Amino acid sequence: MSAGWYPLALADGIEPGTSAGTQLFGKELVVWRDAGGAAHVWEDRCPHRGMRLSFGFVRGDRIACLYHGWQFDGAGQCRAIPAHPHLDVPETIKVATYRVAERAGVIWAADAHTEAPEPAARDALTPIRSLYVDRPVAAVRAALAGAGFPGADGAPLPFAGDAGGLLAFGAPEPVLFAALQPFAAGRTALHILAVGAPAAEDRVALAGAAEVLRRALEGASALAEAAA
Amino acid sequence: MSLVLYDYALDENCYKVRLLLSILGVPHETVAIDMFPGSEHRGPAFLALNPRGTLPALFADGLLLTGAEAILAYLAERFDESGTWLPADPAAFGAVLSWLHFAVDELSAAARARAHAMTDAPADEAAVVAAARAALRLMDDHMTKREFSGGRFFVGETPTIADLALFPAFALSRDYGIDHDEFPALRRWIRRVRAVSGFLTMPGIPDYH
Ligand code: FES
């Protein structure tokens, strides 16, 4: 993973006691939230036989692997091996972990040794959705910078700059933010948030606008050409 | 009353029916049919019972019912005293039927992709996986928007047979090479379906012990 912080999910979308798989530059990661609400980002591989930990299940402050039930605590340390209940689990059985920050309604991760400053906090945002698009991140970025974000009423929200890892849209004041996740080669995730507290029907309209954006980015359209 | 379900444990359409029978607590008999590798559903004995040669097949007091979605509707109509699994309200009824149609039509790509992955059934793998992914996106788009007003299931406030008809294609998507990573609203939705009282697993859908 390159230096810096990367968005992986909308914070609201990962409920306590659940896990989700994702990718960053094609590397599989697990994002999980323990019962106490703390988010964790790890390499998505069980040290036992390599099963994706995101297929597993969270119990309290541990995540358990689906295959043979090995349990890992919040630091990635294996704490229990069901087949050997009396074993004092060696400290060396550990999952590689990442640094995590929850800012602006998004779960961000960085290399454990990163020196990059944490993403900026930003209040009063409402999550809209995560959108997964089969286009490279640079192309998505270029298309959004050029054409803006489709607005709920059809009129595009103009691109208003990059604010601490979030692309801002709308004038004179931003009304929408998007954090871009380099998912894998040719694939990007956009984590989209609205400014303020829009009503349910406005959130539905913005989520619908995101579908329009995905069709435009992936299909034959002016926006796709801008992204090419 | 006699209900006999002709069933194959690894078939996602049979699973839909097993789910509703369990949720509604309907007593029934099950006859296992060896679909793979035995192709028993294409053999003379089974064809004599169900000339379509399809599973699941339900005999309800002698009446033959075929097609998982039709069987779900029959069971809900006959045994669901709450009236919530197939709601009578025209708008909700229509929406449930639309999703049942989606399960038969768009999601047939998922069934074909899975059959191809698990039993080598012939299919254009890239095409069926792409079609299944496009269908799952539509489902995720729908549930994303439902959640804004507190919707927890595909139609209405409580689970319906639409949720059961749609569930296996996503819950089993890893069988045919589609991860859950790109479908956050569907990840949340399948946890709600799993929490329904009477829920059952099948091979490929883990029991979180
Ligand atoms: S692969 Fe994870 S416990 Fe065996």
Q: Which residue of B has its CA nearest to A127?
A: B148
User: What is the model's pTM?
Assistant: 0.96
Per-residue confidence (pLDDT) for residue A151, from 0 to 100: 86
d(CA A22, CA A30): 6
Question: What CATH number is attached to the domain comprising B168?
Answer: 1.20.1050.10
Q: Is residue B37 part of a domain?
A: yes
Nearest to A106 by CA among A216, A175, A8: A8
Say whether B181 and A22 touch across the interface (CB within 8 A). Answer: yes
Q: What distance in Å separates residue A25's CA from the closest CA in chain B? A: 14
What are the residues whose beta carbons fall under 8 Å from the beta carbon of A30, sequence distance 6 or more?
A19, A20, A21, A22, A40, A41, A42, A43, A44, A52, A53, A54, A63
Three-class SS state of A53: helix
d(CA B87, CA A106): 38
What tokens were used for B97?
Answer: 């039927």
**Phi/psi class of residue A208: alpha, beta or left (left: φ > 0; alpha: ψ in -120 to 50)?**
alpha
B64 and B148 fall within a common domain: no
Of A67, A78, A93, A95, best ligand 1 pocket probe by most atoms within 8 Å of the beta carbon: A67
Q: How is residue B155 annotated by DSSP? A: S
Q: Which residues of B touch A215 (CB under 8 A)?
A: none
d(CA A166, CA B63): 60
Q: What is the value of ipTM here, to two decimals?
A: 0.94
Q: Which position has the token pair 């798989």?
A: A21
- Which of B79, B114, B143 terminates a domain? The answer is B79
Q: Which residues of A touch B152 (CB under 8 A)?
A: none
Q: Which residue of A has its CA nearest to B145?
A: A204
Q: What distance in Å separates residue A101's CA from the closest CA in chain B? A: 20
Question: What CATH number is attached to the domain comprising B62?
Answer: 3.40.30.10
B187, B188, B208: residue with CB nearest A57: B208
- Which of B79, B108, B134 terminates a domain? The answer is B79
Number of domains, chain B: 2
d(CA B153, CA A27): 32
d(CA A1, CA A25): 7
B96 and B73 fall within a common domain: no
Contact predicate B31/B17, CB 8 Å: no
* Interface with B, mutate which of A33, A44, A131 (most B CBs under 10 A): A131
- Which of B23, B55, B79 terminates a domain? The answer is B79
Contact predicate A22/A9, CB 8 Å: yes
Query: In the structure, which protein residues have their CB atom closer than 6 angstroms to any atom of ligand 1?
Result: A 46, 48-49, 51, 65, 67-68, 70
B168 and B122 fall within a common domain: yes
Q: What distance in Å separates residue B3's CA from the closest CA in chain A? A: 35
Nearest to A13 by CA among A139, A186, A217, A181: A181
Q: Is residue B205 part of a domain?
A: no
Architecture of domain A125-227 in this structure: 2-Layer Sandwich (3.30)
What would the pLDDT profile of B17-45 be if each residue is shown by its tens digit? 999 999 999 999 999 999 999 999 999 99
What would the pLDDT profile of B44-98 be if each residue is shown by its tens digit? 999 999 999 999 999 999 899 999 999 999 999 999 999 999 999 999 999 999 9
Q: Which CATH number fits domain A6-110: 2.60.120.10, 2.102.10.10, 3.30.1490.20, 3.90.180.10?
A: 2.102.10.10
Beta-ladder partners of A40: A32
Contact predicate A21/B181, CB 8 Å: yes
In Å, what is the CA distance from B150 to each residue of A176, B147, B158?
A: 22, 5, 11
Establish, for the pair of chains A and B, how many residue pairs have beta carbons separated by less than 8 Å: 45
Q: Is residue B59 part of a domain?
A: yes
B189 and B105 fall within a common domain: yes
Contact predicate A142/A40, CB 8 Å: no
Contact predicate A26/A185, CB 8 Å: yes
* Interface with A, mutate which of B173, B182, B183, B209 (most A CBs under 10 A): B182
Say whether B188 and A200 touch across the interface (CB within 8 A). Answer: no
**Closest ligand 1 atom to A69 CA:** 3
Of A51, A53, A57, best ligand 1 pocket probe by most atoms within 8 Å of the beta carbon: A51
B97 and B55 fall within a common domain: no
d(CA B139, CA A37): 28
Q: Is residue B203 part of a domain?
A: no
B27 and B102 fall within a common domain: no
Domain of B94?
90-194
B107 and B40 fall within a common domain: no
Per-residue confidence (pLDDT) for residue B209, from 0 to 100: 57
Burial group, residue A126, by CB count within 10 angstroms (0-12, 13-18, 19+): middle
What are the residues whose beta carbons fall under 8 Å from the beta carbon of A85, sequence distance 6 or more?
none
pLDDT digit string (tens) for chain A, length 228 residues: 567 999 999 999 999 999 999 999 999 999 999 999 999 999 999 999 999 999 999 999 999 999 999 999 999 999 999 999 999 999 999 999 999 999 999 999 999 999 999 999 998 999 999 999 999 999 999 999 999 999 888 789 999 999 888 999 999 999 999 999 999 999 999 999 999 999 999 999 999 999 999 999 998 555 555 555
B63 and B136 fall within a common domain: no
Q: Which of residues 91-150 of B touch A (CB under 8 A)?
A: 141, 144-145, 148-149
Per-residue confidence (pLDDT) for residue A190, from 0 to 100: 98
Say whether B187 and A203 touch across the interface (CB within 8 A). Answer: no
Say whether B141 and A211 touch across the interface (CB within 8 A). Answer: yes
Dihedral angle sign, alpha carbons of residues A34, A37, A38, A41: positive
**Closest ligand 1 atom to A51 CA:** 1
Confirm or reject contact between B209 and chain A (CB < 8 A).
yes
Domain ranges of chain A: 6-110, 125-227
B67 and B119 fall within a common domain: no
What are the residues whose beta carbons fall under 8 Å from the beta carbon of A78, sequence distance 6 or more?
A47, A70, A71, A72, A89, A93, A94, A95
Say whether A129 and B144 touch across the interface (CB within 8 A). Answer: yes
Q: Which residues of B touch A207 (CB under 8 A)?
A: 141, 144-145, 148
Protein residue with least CA distance to atom 3, ligand 1: A68
